[in-house]
Amino acid sequence: MEKQILQTAAAPQAIGPYSQGVGFGNLWFFSGQIALDPETGELKNQSLAVEVEQVLNNIDALLRAAGADWSDILKTSIFLIDMADFSAVNEAYARRFNTAFPARETVAVAQLPRGARVEISVVLARKE
């Protein structure tokens, strides 16, 4: 079994030496997504709500490119520069899932790339 590299124009291109996602068998690992607009490469951060929705839209684009959906997600990692944003992020995040929520951790960090306030990475098992 060989690893597969995920590449889609529907999600932001990598801003460093990493892949948008890597698959091995039915397991997929998506790199952390910030609110970069895939068309312009600019950070969409007019408000926290706009920023979080763009992050989730980027994850959605990666899921579709991998032939998966939100129900395939096993674990997420959420990185926030301010834990005061936890409730707002949680609310938007919860709307993307049914009741079978994935495992996750949420951690506060000092800084994120491009001045982002939130970043989310994903591990999933694609249905075969």
* Alpha carbon 68 to chain centroid, angstroms: 13
- Mean pLDDT (the chain) is 96
Q: How confident is the model at residue 74 (pLDDT cuts 50, 70, 90)?
A: very high
Whether the per-residue pLDDT at 99 is higher than 90: the answer is no
Map residue 121 onto helix, strand or coil.
strand
Rounded distance, CA 9 to CA 52, Å?
Answer: 20
The predicted structure's pLDDT at residue 83: 98
Which residues, at least 6 apart from 90, have a Cβ–Cβ distance to it below 8 Å?
none
Map residue 83 onto helix, strand or coil.
helix
Q: How confident is the model at residue 93 (pLDDT cuts 50, 70, 90)?
A: very high
Rounded distance, CA 121 to CA 58, Å?
Answer: 11
Rounded distance, CA 44 to CA 40, Å?
Answer: 10
Q: What is the mean pLDDT of residues 28-56?
A: 97
pTM metric for this prediction = 0.96
Whether the per-residue pLDDT at 128 is higher than 90: the answer is no
pLDDT digits (tens, 9 = 90+) for 11-25: 999 989 999 999 999
Q: Under a CB-based contact definition with an 8 Å cutoff, are residues 81 and 49 in contact?
A: no
How many CB atoms within 10 Å of residue 32? 19
Architecture of domain 3-125 in this structure: 2-Layer Sandwich (3.30)
Helices (H), 2-125: 48-65, 86-94
Domain ranges of the chain: 3-125
**In degrees rounded to 5, what are phi and psi of residue 67?**
70, 35
pLDDT digits (tens, 9 = 90+) for 107-120: 999 999 999 999 99
